[in-house]
Amino acid sequence: MIVNCTAYVDGHKLDNLTLEEIPAIRQRPDAFVWLGLFEPDEAMMTQVQHLFGLHELATEDAHHAHQRPKVEVYGDCWFLVLRTAQAKESQIDFGETHLFVGPRYLLSVRHGASLPYAPVRTRCESSPNLLCKGPGFVLYAILDFVVDQYFPILSGIEDAVEDLEERFFKGDFDQADIARLYELKRDLVSLRRAAAPLVEVCNYLLTDVFNHYISDDIRPYFRDVYDHILRITETIDSIRETLALALQISLSLGAARQNDATKRLAGWGALLAAPTMIFSIYGMNFKGFFPELEWQYGYPIVMGSVVVGCLLLYIKLKKSGWL
């Protein structure tokens, strides 16, 4: 459950710690602790709650997960919820990261689909001049890492949408393409639920309320994340509009295909109606006066008239696009 427990002094990694060593390190004004957990059980969360003095409501949320992205303040502790996303084959898996930021500590709790934060630690440790600012820089690095994972997912969705659009305009699509379109639309809705609240979160972090842990040197980095998440939400909205248009196009093309089939059936029905009417008259079971029955050329003339009439009707329907 404990992925990482490290102390940093003046921006440099001190050593890996045990939970029992954390209180002593937190007493140093030049040090802070980064504790990383992955799907901890209730006993572990209770121990961490007492160790850092976390609020019971935030601890309960971090243990059970299934939270909306948000930021809350409990005294001198910030509690943030981020939704992580990973593309696996043809679907997107979502997870959660819960962050506790307080005096000389940062606690990260991961649930579900989420990449390890080892690259984030490496990035932070390579910038000791910023890491010495405290847990605020680690908070930025994690937030930026989570947001960056949305870009390749969006890129894959854009490529899939462009491929579907091309198939729709060519008329080369089937029921599987319609199903894929709805899957992409569902993925975009889920991705927007994860990304859109981060606009408010980032905007809130840039206010004066969070000056205590976010120094002026780090604040521009949070504005950069804010710009990224704005771009992501705008891209999601743009793709959603494109998908809606593609759906309308597919429905219109389907209706056009059905209309063409109906016209063709109606055209062939009209061609069959003329000879059927004439032949049905001669097939009536009653005595009538049909002079052409006694005439030598009556039968050839009737049959020729039927053929000529059907041919003229066929030419007319063909020009009008009904056949």
The tokens describing 260, both together, are 């063409």
> What's the pLDDT score for residue 288?
54
- Flag residues of the chain having pLDDT under 70: 170-174, 210, 250-257, 281-299, 322-323
| β-sheet bridge partners, residue 94 | 85
Q: Which two tokens stand for residue 287?
A: 């005595």
Size (the chain), residues = 323
What does the alpha-carbon distance between residue 46 and residue 53 come to, in Å, rounded to a whole number?
10
Nearest to 161 by CA among 249, 74, 49, 259: 249
CA distance 284 to 286: 6
In 3D space, the residue among 128, 117, 124 whose CA is nearest the CA of residue 36 turns out to be 117
pLDDT value, residue 97: 92
What does the longest C-alpha to C-alpha distance in the chain come to? 124
Q: What is the 3-state secondary structure (H, E, C) of 240-260?
A: HHHHHHHHHHHHHHHHHHHHH
- Interatomic CA distance for residues 127 and 100, integer angstroms: 22
How high is the pLDDT of residue 79? 92
Q: What is the pLDDT of residue 323?
A: 66
Q: Tell me the per-residue pLDDT of 85-118, one tens digit each, with 9 for 90 and over.
A: 888 777 888 889 999 998 888 999 998 877 888 8
**Measured between alpha carbons, how far is 92 from 218 in angstroms, rounded to an integer?**
32
Three-class SS state of 134: coil
- What pLDDT is attached to residue 139? 92
Question: What's the rounded Cα separation, in Å, for the pair 78 and 52?
Answer: 12
Amino acid symbol at 88: K
Q: 10: alpha, beta or left, given left = phi > 0 and alpha = psi -120 to 50?
A: left
